[in-house]
Chains A and B, each alone.
Chain A
Amino acid sequence: MKIPRLLQAVGVIVGIYAGFVLVFDYLLGQVIPSSLLSMYMFFVIAGVFMVYTFTEESARELVAPIKALVEDPSKKRIRNVVFILIPLLVAGFTYQRMSPSFEAPVELRSIHPAPPATVKAYGKRYDLATLKNPFRKYEKAKPEKFRELVREGGDIYIQNCQYCHGDKLDGRGPYAAGLNPTPLNFQDVGTIAQLQESFLFWRIATGGPGLPKEAAPWISSMPVWQDFLTEEEIWKVILFLYDYTGRRPRSWEHE
């Protein structure tokens, strides 16, 4: 049996929509942003419309059921139902879009801003391009000392950081739900694995207020840790972050 063209077209559109959601949200595990999806669908619908109407017969077939619905006396009942349903759907959609919600307005904000070349902390100036973790060298030279440092870093993390960043370092600490932007998930491949240790030092030491202008507004609730932790403590925490997640800090040198 031949499927009516209108049904075909609707099927294709719904299929593509479902395909986007399925592929991105479930198969790839990265949701497709609704703003982008609506733009995608707008042009997909335009494309489907183009394919289904470029010949006269095809266009007529596509519109025939709609025409019949409006004009055919035998379809009076279904017509009445549709004519009531459509305004209701539009009203419902409009209401949903217009009703105020508790969601904060969308903001464009880059979470990994370009770091400054140098940063001032602890009354000193650090050059982020050459700054290195002073404890990193023990990893190969004195493994037992390194383990000790990592353990100390873990203690500092549990005492200070896990409330937001979580005891599994996955950004799901007890307070995480209340924060926007969400605390960083260090387990994710896109976070600390992409960064040098000096970047982490900068972000930890100067916190939200240390963000450059491009990352404004300063809504990050990351504290300015140089007021609470010593320089060495920060470096130890950084050791712990990489150790626990099993990631390597990014480096421009070949190992």
Chain B
Amino acid sequence: MMIKPPASNGKTRRVRKAGLVVFCLGLLLGVLALSLPGLDSGIAHAAELADTGADTATYQPAPKLTAADYPTIKGVNSRIAVWLAAQLHLWFAAFVLAVPIFVFIIEAIGMGTRDKRYDNMAYEFIKVSITAYSFTAILGGLLTFLLVLFYPHLFQYMSSIFKESMFYYALLFFLESATLYLYYYGWHWLQGGFRKWVHLSLGLLLNAVGTLLMFLANAWVTFMMSPAGVDPAGVFSGDAWAAIHNFLWNPINIHRVIANIAYGGSIVGAYAAFKFLSARKSEQRAHYDWMGYNANFIAISALLPLPFAGYYLTAEIYAYSQQMGITLMGGVFAWLFIIQAVLIGTLFLSANYYLWCGMGRSDGAVRYHKYIKYLAIVIVGAFLVWFTPHTLVLTNEELKALGGPYHKYLGPLGIMPAKNTAVNIMILFTTLSFIFYRRANKVATVSWASAGNAIQIALFTAGILNIFFLGVYHGYFTNTVYKVAASIPQVLTTLTIIVTSTAIDAFMYRGAKQVAPLHWGRVSDRSQYALFLLAVAFTWLMGLMGYIRSGIRQHWHVTNVFRDASPDAFTPGLGYAANVVSVGTILFMAMVIFVFWIADVSSRKTAADAYWKTPPA
């Protein structure tokens, strides 16, 4: 990584300068594109003016439907069909949107370090996503068809409100496709100096357009959850920006951007793991090991802040409607969060395991082996606390033995303060795993190394004590108001420790001595399964959370405005939802395998000289 760029002479400097200008132009364009929603509202405003001029009563209230208004096809469950299509579309879209984000970053790193390996890796990432891109489009089309087929009134109502954004959404896809193809097919053409800058700008534009597309689609989804710009009967006010900029739009936007990055990282990690397992040559193994490591790094970096984005989203759901918040966290869905805890715990465990296994790449890591078991004890322990449910499932005998359903010692672990404390500890120790991994191969040479170490130890100790104090004191010895309030200083403590200790580490290990060479590719096959576990658990988890995001609307198409009168309006139970999600995950995996296989086939060649006529001399 530390390869010095070649000394630049006057010419390259000039070229780079020109490149920078193009890059900045690209940045400007990106910002412009991002501000398009504003533009959109302008257009909507104009459209509204035109409307009011011609006819004021253009907008109808949300229709009141009966079961007969929903077309059916024999043998097809319309709700499950739409559910699967939407979920598959979302999985692919998340992947396709995420990959350009970190391809852009990796390409930039490659440009900064002039390390060709980064460029090759970025290219391979984008290559994987290109087939996935067409799958996204196909599934999006399928979803639209299914909606028009099975829920025509809903689709008509939605499109009457979002007519502008849907129209520009469709048009934007031309720009997205053009940029993506240019970015991918022009990769080898746009190399070196100025051209590389142009290429990087294309990457930025690609990301800007992709993000904008997602934001628009998010607006439709969040409108269904927290409608704005319509009156209680569902009559649209004509202000498209109000409908787009509804209450949950921004929380979902933030949550999805971060989650997409983590998800994209995990899928690419699975790809690298598979290539690693099937690689025959040692340099191939080294390459895919390195790629898998980087993908995992991206996934984990995005995973760490994700719980906080989730808290923000939940808080906003509560703020929008207490009723929706209580539906989300209590009653029927309460057990969903136990499943979620199990899944997220699985993600953390497998990510840590991958890091520990990765220490085998260096002989210097032996120094840290003895600490791993303590990390494991704390992480598993925190995880056990995290998924201890509030309501325990007891057999009758246990009920009798306990004298009631309340457990004196496990009961307190079931409530939020304990869980907040546990998740913060888990995040901190995952960070510690990563710090150990980074140090495995190095010995700090700076004069203040021991002082730096002491500071870091003090920082972690103080932070953990603070988190414990906040959790235990505010959680159990003050009233309810403080219970929830304590989670914010806890999160701030965690973030402070992560940022500070990473910064100290970066300075301390600048110019550090390598203990032993780092052998990329010297890692067990077992560790690669941790990457698969990460990808599968992530996919399944996204499916589950998709179900609850949609499920908390209960029997409404558009919350409190447009009632779902179809026979499928009921809220499905958790087992039912888990089965649909599992089927969806398997379908998605099958498609992803096809995508990976296609990416592989494109580089294969079969020599069939005897087949073709030899051209006449």
Contacts and interface: CB of A to CB of B under 8 A. Distances in A.
Interface of A: 24, 28, 30-36, 39-40, 43-44, 46-47, 50-51, 53-56, 59, 103-104, 106, 108-112, 171, 180-182, 184-185, 188, 190-191
21 contacts: A24-B409, A24-B410, A28-B409, A30-B402, A30-B407, A30-B408, A31-B398, A33-B410, A35-B392, A35-B393, A44-B380, A47-B379, A50-B352, A50-B356, A53-B526, A55-B357, A59-B526, A111-B404, A182-B403, A190-B406, A191-B403
A109 B396 CA distance: 12
B405 A111 contact: yes
B121 to A, nearest CB: 25
B411 to A, nearest CB: 9
Interface stretch (B122-130, B286-294, B368-376, B452-460): B368-376
Interface in B410-455: 410
A55 to B, nearest CB: 6
B164 to A, nearest CB: 46
Nearest to A24: B409
A150 to B, nearest CB: 24
B387 interface: yes
Given A54-B359, A185-B404, 5 more contacts: A30-B402, A31-B401, A35-B393, A35-B395, A36-B410
A56 B524 contact: yes
Interface of A is mostly: loop
B394 interface: yes
Given A43-B345, A50-B352, A28 B408 contact: yes
B478 to A, nearest CB: 16
B303 to A, nearest CB: 18
Question: Top 3 closest A-B pairs, CB basis?
Answer: A47-B380, A54-B356, A35-B393
Interface string B351-389: 011001101100000000100110011011001100111
A235 B394 CA distance: 33
A190 B387 CA distance: 24
B226 to A, nearest CB: 27
Contact of B392 (A33, A112, A182, A184): A33
Contacts of A191: 403-404
Contact of B384 (A43, A104, A106, A112): A43
Contact of A104 (B392, B396, B408): B396
B90 interface: no
A190 B403 contact: yes
A255 to B, nearest CB: 19
Contacts of B392: 33, 35-36
B399 interface: yes
Contact of B349 (A46, A180, A181): A46
B391 interface: yes
Given A31-B398, A51-B373, A182-B400, A106 B393 contact: yes
B433 to A, nearest CB: 11
Contacts of B387: 39
B533 to A, nearest CB: 10
Nearest to A54: B356
A47 B356 contact: no
Contacts of A56: 360, 524
Nearest to B404: A111
Contacts of A24: 409-410
B409 A106 contact: no
A108 B393 contact: yes
A51 B376 contact: yes
Contact of A181 (B389, B398, B399, B524): B399
A26 B558 CA distance: 54
A205 to B, nearest CB: 21
Given A35-B393, A50-B349, A103-B396, A30 B409 contact: yes
Contacts of B369: 55
Contacts of A188: 403-404
Contact of A36 (B388, B397, B400, B404): B388
A184 B406 CA distance: 12
Taking each of A51, A109, A112, which has the highest tally of chain B beta carbons within 10 Å of its own beta carbon?
A51
A171 B396 contact: no
B10 to A, nearest CB: 52
A219 B408 CA distance: 24
A181 B359 CA distance: 54
